[in-house]
Each structure stands twice: as structure tokens, then as C-alpha cells.
Amino acid sequence: MDLKRGLTRLAIAAVTMWFIFWTVAYVMHPYSSLTPEPATFLIRLMAWKVIAPCTVAIVLFGTWIGLGLRARMGPPMMRG
């Protein structure tokens, strides 16, 4: 297992997931006087327009992180 590479990818994915959530929930779908804000944060989080892109990103990042935890194969000179 390559923990250093896996944990680096985990950190990058966590920051990127926060950016994706913030962009989808607050920037792309802002609330105004015409469309009132949901009563709770949980309702906002569970809206399809927020949960669908975040779910896709979680699956993609999970695969990417999992591949990062695998030991690198190849000649010793190629390993970083």
C-alpha cells in the first residue's frame, strides 16, 4: 500500500468535494425572495440538484483514491 500517495489524494478529493458542494448548493442554485431558502441545511443537502453531482464526484474520487493506495508496479527506477 502506498499511504502517502493515497492520503494526498484523499486530501485533494476532500477539498474538491467541498468546492463541488459549495458551487452546486450555493452558487448555481442561489435562493432569493422569489425562491425561498429551505428551512434546514439537511433539506438543502438532500435536494436532487445537490446530491446527484456530489454522488457522481464521490464515486469518481473514491476510485481515484483507491487506485492511489495501491502499490506502484514497475521497475524501481520508475517509482517516485
In angstroms, the Cα distances linking 42 to 5, 13, 18, 50 are 33, 22, 16, 11
pTM attached to this predicted model: 0.65
At residue 30, the pLDDT reads 72
At 30-67, the pLDDT tens digits run 777 777 777 787 887 788 888 888 899 999 998 888 88
User: How far, in Å, CA of 9 to CA of 61, rounded?
Assistant: 8
At residue 25, the pLDDT reads 78
